[in-house]
Amino acid sequence: MGLLSGKTAIVTGAARGIGKAIALKFASEGADIAFTDLAIDENAHNTEKEIEALGVKVKGYASNAANYADTMAVVDEIVKDFGRVDVLVNNAGITRDASFKRMTEEQWDLVINVNLKSAFNFIKAVQPIMNKQKSGSIINMASVVGVSGNAGQANYSASKAGMIALAKSIAKELGPRDIRANAIAPGFIITEMTAVLSEEVKAEWAKQIPLRRGGTPEDVANVATFLASDLSSYVTGQVIHCCGGMNM
């Protein structure tokens, strides 16, 4: 019996990277997995196969998380296929970095919609289900820059700060129904997004981190598993930094 046996989890933006690591870790702990991405492409099919090999039910869904109608429709489909929703991980996210002086309205709107509005959409869609079950765990993927801010990332930082405040607000509203909401703030995590950086840049990053290394998607997935499981049954409204001590 795994930590998440008998639970069904939705993970958005899970065809690759941190989302995929979370979905795989949840599955290894016994959870059935419904995951979404913009398209169910080769990456998504590979993720499905890897999760299926762990002996749980899995299905990937093509959905634009930033679109309200899309989200309502896909969650209806997930409930028909899986019957329940115990865990929601709002992981879908993008970057469109630029100095504030050069940032366009389009860059601002796109990042806010994909990173923050998507969480609003999915929480709205799963709330009635979790209310009926009188249980649930909602996990918002934030970032250390949502706490500290970052030059050149005003849009991304604002969206991630919003994810933190959203989790705290939902925790206060839905706590009486035994629905928990928390945020994870990853720091420098080695993913496809950061792999393009030069070794010099990565070395400079490492100097700012007390553990002197970047994190892995699996490091973040371990924190998510704790928050999804009953081990954290008295933890809500919190931000857990997974950053090697970069932010304290």
From start to end of 146-203, where are the E strands?
Answer: 179-186
Strand partners, 37: 62
Q: How far is CA 240 from CA 33, 136, 142, 176, in A?
A: 23, 18, 9, 22
Residue 75's Cβ-count burial label (10 Å; 0-12, 13-18, 19+) is buried
Which of 61, 68, 156, 234 is catalytic? The answer is 156
- Catalytic residue flag (residue 156): yes
- Listed residue (36, 31, 40, 33) closest to 12, CA to CA: 36
Instruction: Identify whether the C-beta of residue 10 lies closer than 8 Å to the C-beta of residue 126.
Output: yes
Instruction: Identify whether the C-beta of residue 8 lies closer than 8 Å to the C-beta of residue 85.
Output: yes
The first and second tokens of residue 163, run together, are 């994810």
Catalytic residues: 156
